[in-house]
Amino acid sequence: MNTSASAEVHIAGLVVHAWPQAVAQVARAVRAVPGADVHASSADGRLVVTLEGPGEAAIADALVRIQTLDGVLAASLVYQHGESSAAMDTEVELEDHAPNLR
């Protein structure tokens, strides 16, 4: 990852639909994609995946790679967020940002 002052970090969330009989195979293949992690999967073929990369192009490339894996029916981007690396490393005081639930 680029560590210059202008470097960015992008995080994306995907829902991947696979053939039910291919869920385990697809999960292994997704984990082999750089920056990808599988957080949940179901017997009916759905997987929850996050991607992390240095920019929009890296996220798009990983999404296309996942979409073309054997056993994948569809992979949909549901969320993407990008910030500078410096902003992502900044500590956040939760009391300043969390809602008061009392």
- The closest alpha carbon to 13, from 79, 90, 92, belongs to 79
Instruction: Give 14's strand partners.
Output: 49, 77
User: What pLDDT was estimated at residue 1?
Assistant: 43
pLDDT at 50 over 90: yes
Measured between its terminal Cα atoms, the distance across the chain in Å is 42
The single-letter DSSP state of residue 19 is -
Mean pLDDT of 25-54: 97
**What letter would DSSP give residue 45?**
S
Query: What CA–CA distance (Å, rounded) separates 47 from 69?
Result: 13
Domain 9-83, CATH among 3.30.70.920, 3.10.580.10, 3.40.710.10, 3.40.50.10860: 3.30.70.920
> pLDDT (tens digit, 9 = 90+) per residue, 64-102?
999 999 999 999 999 999 887 777 667 766 666 666 666
- Asked if 31 and 77 touch (Cβ cutoff 8 Å), the reply is no
Q: Give me the helices (H) in 53-101, please.
A: 56-67, 85-88, 94-97
